Structure 1
Amino acid sequence: MAHYRPVSESKREQFRRYLEKAGVLNSLTNVLVALYEEQEKPNNALEYPYTADTTVSQRNQMQSSPRK
């Protein structure tokens, strides 16, 4: 039987920083916000990040581009 060994807080913090630095947390947040703002919710919310990827990417590009 496998023994459960809790992950130390420092490893969790390192992993969180890694995800943040790689932009993963921001991307996930953007996808969840886009799903929340959808007028018609999709039947399968688990597929939404894959189908909405282009839309979210375009939104991110527009937000990060300098405004004139």
Structure 2
Amino acid sequence: MKKSILTYGLITGAVIIGSMLLGILNVSGFSQWLGYLIIVVAMTMIFIGVKRYRDQERGGVISFG
């Protein structure tokens, strides 16, 4: 579990930090579209991380109890 958390957490963190740096440098004039793209990429990485954890470490099931 820790490996999945670190892997996908670091990737998501790198995406967010990279987007903040692009925003500070104001690289593109499409800041609103860039913001939405960053949100979609970050949420996708979280989804992929949870799915991978479910499939590989929990046998395809995540329960709440």
Rg larger in structure: 1
TM-score, normalised by the number of residues in structure 2: 0.34
Q: Which has the higher contact order (CA 8 A, sep 6+)?
A: 2
Bigger helix fraction: 2
